[in-house]
Amino acid sequence: MRTLTQAGICLDQRRMYPVRSTKIKASAIRAVFGILTALLSTTSACSLETAAPASPTCASFHPARTTPALLNPKLATSTRPLCFRAFAILHSSVTRTPLYVAEHLTRASVEAARALNTRDNRFHAEPQLIPAERGELADYRGSGFDRGHMAPSGDMGNTGDDYESFSLANIVPQDGPLNRNGWADLEGYVRDLTGKLGETYVVTGPAFASRNLKRLNGRVLVPSHVWKAIYVPGQGAGAWIVSNDRQQQWEVVSIATLATRTGIDPFPSLDRAAKAKVPAFPTFD
Amino acid sequence: MIKPFADDDAAASIGDLSIENGTDKVTVSGSLEFTRDQTGLERARALKQLADDLIVELENGSAPQSLTGTQTAAVDQVANPFA
């Protein structure tokens, strides 16, 4: 049985992913996670990566293969990186939610997602995590909060990827009207933008930025805000942050401001000037 | 497509329309375009099936006059562990 205390203070998440080939086969990822799961019983996630041989990873979801950086060290407690076929997650067993979810969207991936005319799926607890670490369906049931996707189902171009997006490791408790309206519009806007500009790197996550937090079933923390950062190579970067409540207060911010507000820098590889720019994005209130 | 009210975990979508199942409610949100082609027809049929299944379940089940007090899970408040 894995122990949470060993799950690692991985301050430098950039070292979590060895740099290697760009093409990743799902079967290879599965194999790697089999090994990871086995090794995690005896060692922390941090030391594991230096001990294990370089393997295909989720690094291609990040610009310059650089994973988001946790600027608030408290966020790093009991975290675990999870690699899926279409996105990469840093999961926290303190919140029992993701802390961020990274995707790399392309014109082709958006077209494939749009071609999936109807979808059928099931929310499910994440099998790569032990029950003590993860959110369960029962935690959300009747809570009054939606199960809000971080990597959107609508970005997924096949049923396998779509199924993975329904893992509760990709879900946070989200205000229902926000999830169903403005947030869904934002997700569509990012797909449209990707179709126009060719590719985007997208990092989405919850922010825990209030003195007190609501908690579901004594287990899952409700974020005070949710945010989405995008980087378009050759164009620039920026982010949205919105309060996770009926007020739905939207803000368009620079990457630097987002990092200060959330404790997470989604794109550490960008230079200071790119991070300081406030983009001319619309809001969705 | 979902079987209305049968479970709390099934979800479906038709175009940009999201459907979430629940034992006490089914939620439909988003928007849906019907193009005048086979894709539009497929979507129209899926939407009709959903509406038909909902009506059958509500007619056959013991649908009460109104459902009250749907919030069942405990929601409490804690200090922010990251502050």
Contacts of B48 in chain A (CB under 8 A): none
Chain A CB within 8 Å of residue B80 CB: yes
Across A12-22, average pLDDT: 32
pLDDT at res. A19: 30
CA distances from residue A242 to A103, A254, A265, A271, A283 in whole angstroms, order as listed: 20, 14, 17, 25, 9
B16/A188 Cβ within 8 A: yes
By percentage, how much of chain A surpasses pLDDT 70? Answer: 80
Question: Is residue A195 very low, low, confident or very high in pLDDT (cuts 50, 70, 90)?
Answer: very high
Nearest residue, CB atoms, A216 vs list B13, B29, B73: B73
The ipTM is 0.89
Name all contacts of A127-131 with Cβ < 8 Å and 24+ positions apart.
A128/A33, A128/A37, A128/A82, A128/A169, A129/A80, A129/A82, A129/A91, A129/A93, A129/A169, A130/A1, A130/A2
Residue A239 has pLDDT above 50, yes or no: yes
Residue A46 has pLDDT above 60, yes or no: no
pLDDT at res. B68: 62
pLDDT at res. A71: 97
Residues A278 and A238: beta-carbon distance below 8 Å: yes
Nearest residue, CB atoms, B11 vs list A141, A166, A181: A166
Neighbour tally for A251: CB within 10 Å: 16
By percentage, how much of chain B surpasses pLDDT 90? Answer: 76
What tokens were used for A24?
């990743």
Residue A127 has pLDDT above 90, yes or no: yes
Residues A119 and A111: beta-carbon distance below 8 Å: no
pLDDT at res. B83: 94
Contacts of A146 in chain B (CB under 8 A): 20
pLDDT at res. B61: 76
The enclosing H or E element of A160 equals helix A159-165
Chain A CB within 8 Å of residue B67 CB: no
What tens digit of pLDDT does each residue of A60-110 get? 999 999 999 999 999 999 999 999 999 999 999 999 999 999 999 999 999
**Active site residues per annotation of A:** 149
Residue A25 has pLDDT above 60, yes or no: no
Exposure string of A133-158, with b = 16+ CB inside 10 Å and e = fewer, is bbbbeebbbbbbbbbbbbbbbbbbbe
The model carries a pTM of: 0.83
End-to-end CA distance of chain B: 43
